[in-house]
Amino acid sequence: MADPLRLSRLNRRHDNPHFFTTLLTSHRTLLTLIWTAAFILVAFWQKSAVDRLLHFRHSWPAAPPRPIPKLRDLVFNLTDFGAVGDGVTLNTAAFERAISEIRKRGGGQLNVGPGYWLTAPFNLTSHMTLFLAQDAVVLGIDDENYWPLMPPLPSYGYGRERPGPRYGSLIHGQNLKDVVITGHNGTINGQGKRWWEKYKKKMLNYTRGPLVQIMWSRDIEISHVTLRDSPFWTLHPYDCQNVIIRNVTILAPSSDAPNTDGIDPDSCENMVIEDSYISVGDDAVAIKSGWDQYGIAYGRPSTNILIRNLIVRSKISAGVSIGSEMSGGVSNITVQNLLVWNSKRGIRIKTSAGRGGYVRDITYQNLTFDSVRVGIVIKTDYNEHPDEGYDPSALPVIKDISFTSIRGQGIRIPVRIYGSQEIPVRNITFKDMLVGISYKKKHIFQCSYVQGRVIGKIFPSPCDNLDIYDDKGRLVRPATARNSNDTDYDF
């Protein structure tokens, strides 16, 4: 793959008429050009080179750019504020001036045209639409000295990976109303590589910043954009209401991109995530609500969240997770029409003693797992705590969870639900499950401290902890071993 930045510069040079006229004034240059052209032609006989040319053409269509719709009364162009999309000029001041103008005027739309718009973090304002044209790339500067520090999130008490303050997000918003980030699939690129390397070498003194973080806000829409290579979590709505995320693409390398979660709804209410593709270096979606004593004190649940029509991949973690930070509670979550492919886990609920809170009223429907090591996981000993101040007797409640229409192929362990004596998993229902397994062992539907039922046909056959009902809802066989630890190996 050619480096997009270099491609863009190359393209710009050829767009400039002066570049050619200056060259053509000299005969010698003209000769050189002809020779060069001949050489290039010969080179293109090679199939690989022809392929590359086709690819080049494909990524830079000659077609005129799609006109940008007018979505607010007042429309600005980032270039009106002195921005230069060359991938080198720092445009933070242009973004700030543009957004400050929108703030003064009570709202507006900011168009970002094709180009590479390098910037340090900036803040959004209310009643604004950030519109990223096709081939518009907002590039986050990868030098942490440009990233402001912010206080820890109150429900975490900590930066998250480091105590004390944390870096803010590239695109940030607090206490806002009516904010839209959309476009013709333009990109926000966090250039996370240097962050990930520094994190692994323990060269960072503070927690890395997310790509987009919107806090204490309402009426937020993020759609038709690509978010990639975030330094840390990619899209983090924190204590927000009425959030819609649709038709987004979220990308990060599937390994060596630590903590690049796709979307982290955190203490949020009334939210939809739909029609999107996510492939990242950690959970594709992770629903959270604060961490141990800090999350319990903050006390804001994540609730009424609908997640549907997603294709996700997570080689390191899971497709859709709940937790492990869930101390404010998580309830009324629906996950529908989810395809998880080439991943470590399909869906996972993770918690531990000390979290408090609850996970309840969770509905999974029509999940497809394609080459996934463990399909469904509930884990109650995820012992990662902010500090020694957590209360080990703060036990989370895990209950009222249903799984309907589960399909898959190439699954090693379809189900692994590990409750414990202190944190039992209650009222689980499985209905209509049929997955192809890749590992012929006996105990691949693994349970401990689980209570619940299966209804109708289930393959592979369920653990002894569950009551078995037929399609008509008649009890066929009650659970024989409620608290058995039905595992004979681990990996």
Residues that bind ligand NAG (CB under 6 A): 68, 77, 79, 111, 113, 121-123, 133, 144, 148, 150, 168, 172, 174, 185, 204-205, 226, 247, 249, 275, 304, 306, 309, 332, 334, 337, 339, 366, 368, 400, 402, 418, 420, 427, 429, 448, 485, 487
**Is the sign of the CA dihedral 41, 46, 50, 55 positive or negative?**
negative
Q: By C-alpha distance, which of 111, 147, 149, 106 is closest to 129?
A: 111
Tallying the residues shown for the chain, one arrives at: 491
Distance of closest approach, residue 261 Cβ to ligand NAG, in angstroms: 18
Tokens of residue 3, six digits: 């480096």
Tokens of residue 486, six digits: 């039905």
166: Cα separation from own chain's centroid = 19
- DSSP, collapsed to helix, strand or coil, labels residue 394 as coil
Closer of 373 and 453 to ligand NAG (Cβ): 453
Distance of closest approach, residue 351 Cβ to ligand NAG, in angstroms: 13
* Cβ 462 vs Cβ 430: under 8 Å: yes
Q: By C-alpha distance, which of 151, 155, 153, 165 is closest to 294?
A: 155
Phi first, then psi, for residue 82 (nearest 5°) are 90, 15
Annotation says 282 is catalytic: yes
Closer of 173 and 354 to ligand NAG (Cβ): 173
Number of other residues whose CB lies within 10 A of the CB of residue 72: 18
Distance of closest approach, residue 274 Cβ to ligand NAG, in angstroms: 8
Number of other residues whose CB lies within 10 A of the CB of residue 101: 16
* Cβ 116 vs Cβ 97: under 8 Å: no
The amino acid at residue 430 is: F
Tokens of residue 235, six digits: 């899209």
Closer of 8 and 111 to ligand NAG (Cβ): 111
The Cα 353–Cα 479 span in angstroms is 26
* Cβ 153 vs Cβ 204: under 8 Å: no
Closer of 273 and 293 to ligand NAG (Cβ): 273
Burial of 454 (0-12, 13-18, 19+ CB in 10 A): buried
Angle between helices 17-24 and 27-43 (to 10 degrees): 120
Question: Read out DSSP for 342-391?
Answer: EEEEEEEEE--TT--SEEEEEEEEEEEEEEEEEEEEEES-----SSTTS-
Distance of closest approach, residue 386 Cβ to ligand NAG, in angstroms: 21
Closer of 33 and 410 to ligand NAG (Cβ): 410
Which among 142, 229, 282, 370 is annotated as catalytic? 282
Closer of 11 and 247 to ligand NAG (Cβ): 247
- DSSP, collapsed to helix, strand or coil, labels residue 301 as coil
Closer of 89 and 123 to ligand NAG (Cβ): 123
DSSP label at 86? E
Distance of closest approach, residue 53 Cβ to ligand NAG, in angstroms: 20
The Cα 435–Cα 369 span in angstroms is 8
- DSSP, collapsed to helix, strand or coil, labels residue 328 as coil
Distance of closest approach, residue 380 Cβ to ligand NAG, in angstroms: 8
Distance of closest approach, residue 216 Cβ to ligand NAG, in angstroms: 10
| Residues in contact with 28: Cβ distance below 8 Å, sequence separation at least 6, in sequence order | none
Closer of 122 and 156 to ligand NAG (Cβ): 122
Residue whose tokens read 């109708």: 456
Beta strands in 148-262 (DSSP E): 149-150, 166-167, 171-174, 177-183, 187-189, 212-215, 218-223, 226-228, 235-238, 241-246, 249-251
Distance of closest approach, residue 181 Cβ to ligand NAG, in angstroms: 14
Distance of closest approach, residue 18 Cβ to ligand NAG, in angstroms: 17
Closer of 33 and 204 to ligand NAG (Cβ): 204
The residues that are catalytic are 282
